Structure 1
Amino acid sequence: MSIPSPRGRDRLRTALLSVAVAAVFAGLGGLTGCGSSAADAAAPPPPEVGVVAAEVREVQQWDEVNGRVEAVQHVELRPRVSGYIDKVNYREGQLVAQGDVLFQIDDRSYRAALAEAEAALANARARAAVARSEAARAQKLVELNAVSTEQNEQRRAAAAQADAEVQAAQAAVDAARLDLEFTRVRAPIAGRAGRALVTAGNLVSAESGVVLTTLVSVDPIHVHFDTDEATFLRYAGLARAGERPSERDAAVPVQVGLVNEEGFPHAGVVDFLDNRVDPATGSIRARAVLDNSDGSLTPGLFARVRVLGRGASEALLIDDKAVLTDQDRKYVYVVDAEGRAQRRDVRLGRVVDGRRIVEDGLAAGDRVIVSGVQKVFFPGMPVQAVAAADADAPAVARAD
């Protein structure tokens, strides 16, 4: 004897249930046939079920992922010269402009070194002037045969050497002036300054690489997020079909919301997609850039990210509460023209804020049972359909 398949067992079970319920109704009919008015009054009416018609709406399909807010620029501020910190010129946590002096290193030794270098430059220039004058006189005298050619060449070489010494002295002045400038540690970017990790009176060394403070840019700001391999391949397929911009195109819209916010109030665009899928996680890193002129997005915050999957399109929607599960199959009950409940196996898409996209199995206008479905014992059972409350929801689709 062969064992029936799971689908065969389902059909057998449904058939037996139908026979049992039919027998009950037949028995009630036999009682009424005997002329009993009490039995006729006790015959139950068809159960009442709430129905909502499947309808076609225009939906915007989005994918929802999790991400992190990150600064566009992050700088660890380090000293470029050694010395004692003379002054901290900013308030911790404040917004600073590019070029603001945040730390002042004691510059007295660097001022002295600059003065010494400038004096050496003046001395080199004086020697160079004398050497050039002697070389010019030697050139005139050699034309009168008053000096030898060898002496003339020596004076010309001495003048060239003096000019080189001037250049070296000038470079030393430039280096000393640069070191003096480095005693004023400036903000290389505009942003928010962190805690001062070195305070006034401490010795810092350029060789040690000590961090004085950190700076993060505020506006604009990035949101980093990962998308799975299947979603990435679907996006790539849509881009090839021309249904949405390429993943490399900065015009892909995103919406971002924080944990304390309703919905996704912050808008931006994708400006970067990594060049490889991580084989360990099967995901690929993407980045969005957003306006943050109000400073509401702080680096490090958790973010809910919604990425546009495709443009607006029409879809058949039903109430998600109407969907039932039978092992690996999804189905709903609909009320046909004769007032009977009929089972329809369906293929489902995404959730649209409480409503479900139906890709196959239903047609627009089908009356889908959304309440009282527990009263339906078998397909084909008579029911009394009444309109169920159906609050409109914005048609914005997300991945389920």
Structure 2
Amino acid sequence: MWQGLLAFVALAAMAGCGEQNGPEAQMAQGQAPNVKIAQPLAQDVTEWDEYTGRIEAVSSVDVRARVSGYLEKVNFKAGEKVKKGDLLFLIDPKPFKAQLNYAEAELERARAKHELAKNDLERAKRLFRAKAISEEEHDARSKGLREAVAAVQSAEANVYTARLNLDYTKVRAPIDGRIGRELITEGNLVNGGGADATRLTFIVSTDPVYVYVDADERSVLKYRRLGQHIGAGQTPVRLAVADEDDFPHQGTLDYISPREDTATGTVTLRGVFPNTDDLLSPGFFARMRVRGSTPYPAILLPDRAIATDQAQRFVWVVNQDNQVEYRPVTLGAHIGQSRVIKEGVKPEEWVVIEGLQKLRPGIKVNPERLSLAAPY
């Protein structure tokens, strides 16, 4: 019996030794866990909603031939900037010069016939008054003049068309922008006009640029109300491309689609951004932030200070006795790496921001006080 009792005491002692190594035993012995605490940051904040999209050019043009002929010259370097009206391609102009010369000669012939018909009518009028010719002859001379006038107009139109075709042999830039590579090289035959016109190159405008994204219905209603408050087309937007962590490019929201896509339940938004340094190119992947509120006062805590208990979000607050208290909180918007705390914490309270995993309600901690930096 005594042997069994001694064995029980020995086992209890071993178990007690093991318990002395746990966090609760250490706390009982005065070994409070080390934590870092800070007071919430109180400041005015502005909410921003983030979307992904693509950069698009404000203007994009496929340069095509308007007349057929052999390509005689390429007058640009691929990828360079061009101005509206710059000469890009030259199509062999000789056949079109010949057509223009022929049309001008036909015009001169028509004008000569017009002068003759005009003189004939003047003579016919005098003879008709003297009753030297019949009325039918007078009418014939009058209609002959009208026919000659129409012939002159037709010849003038032919000259205009021939001169226009000759001018089209000089393919010029229709817009300012950056040009692509030449798709047809010198010496090749190009087709002009119509759906089969040869595509020679393309030009995209570079400054400014558009970014298109899709937003949900509630967000669009929010942006429209915000636009009514600050002015249409004045809602700020920010842009970041693939190698940027912050959002350094600033622009405005200049377009909200008047129609929702019922298949996706989204509405297209468009931001416009200056691009004076040519960093942004059409087709680039982009992240765009849209301002979703006017500035308002808020209390902020880092995301790492907020824990989850099933569906409840909470923080640990340290009181004057260095004891931790479980404090449920109501969260607001993300601001950088921080969250707006709508309810649950006051600005003067100290909240644990590091060492949360060691804590239990009511235990004492060894706090290190820190100051939070602004989230942006």
SS at match of 1:179: helix
Q: Give the aligned residue type for 1:196.
A: E
Match of 2:298 among 299, 315, 327: 315
Distance across 2 between alignment mates of 1:263 and 1:159: 78
Q: Give the aligned residue type for 1:372.
A: G
2:209 pairs with 1:228: no
Shift of 1:163: 0.6
For residues 147-158 of structure 1, what are the structure 2 equivalents within 5 Å?
147-158=133-144
SS at match of 1:225: strand
Q: Give the aligned residue type for 2:216.
A: D
Q: Give the aligned residue type for 2:364.
A: V
SS at match of 1:289: strand
Distance across 2 between alignment mates of 1:47 and 1:98: 71
SS at match of 1:112: helix
Quote the residue 1:72 is aligned against: 58
Cα shift readout 1:7-42 (whole Å, capped 9, x = no counterpart):
xxxxxxxxxxxxxxxxx9xxx9xxxxxxxxxx9xx8
Shift of 1:232: 2.1
Quote the residue 1:336 is aligned against: 319
2:154 pairs with 1:137: no
2:371 pairs with 1:393: no
For residues 198-237 of structure 1, what are the structure 2 equivalents within 5 Å?
198-206=184-192, 207=194, 208-237=196-225
SS at match of 1:151: helix
Contact 1:55–1:365 at 8 Å: present in 2 too? no
TM-score normalised according to structure 2 size: 0.87
Match of 1:266 among 242, 246, 249: 249
Quote the residue 1:4 is aligned against: none
Shift of 1:312: 1.3
SS at match of 2:276: coil
Shift of 1:271: 1.5
Cα shift readout 1:271-295 (whole Å, capped 9, x = no counterpart):
2111222223332211111111221
Aligned residues: 350
Distance across 2 between alignment mates of 1:44 and 1:294: 62
Shift of 1:333: 1.5
Quote the residue 2:12 is aligned against: none
Contact 1:58–1:312 at 8 Å: present in 2 too? yes
Quote the residue 2:271 is aligned against: 288
Shift of 1:371: 2.5
Shift of 1:366: 2.1
Q: Give the aligned residue type for 1:165.
A: A
Contact 1:98–1:188 at 8 Å: present in 2 too? yes
SS at match of 1:119: helix
Tell me: CA distance 1:239–1:90, structure 2 relative to 1, closer, same or farther (3 Å): closer
> Pairwise CA RMSD of aligned residues?
2.2
Q: Give the aligned residue type for 1:233.
A: L
Tell me: CA distance 1:89–1:138, structure 2 relative to 1, closer, same or farther (3 Å): same
Distance across 2 between alignment mates of 1:53 and 1:390: 7
Distance across 2 between alignment mates of 1:155 and 1:238: 76
Quote the residue 1:110 is aligned against: 96
Contact 1:67–1:224 at 8 Å: present in 2 too? yes
Shift of 1:262: 4.1
For residues 6-25 of structure 1, what are the structure 2 equivalents within 5 Å?
none
Shift of 1:164: 0.7
Tell me: CA distance 1:174–1:309, structure 2 relative to 1, closer, same or farther (3 Å): same
Shift of 1:156: 0.9
Cα shift readout 1:231-281 (whole Å, capped 9, x = no counterpart):
2233345456x3x54xxx211111112222341221111121112222233
Q: Give the aligned residue type for 2:83.
A: A
2:43 pairs with 1:57: yes
Match of 1:383 among 335, 345, 364: 364
Contact 1:227–1:284 at 8 Å: present in 2 too? yes
**Structure 2: tracts of 5 or more residues without a match:** 1-15
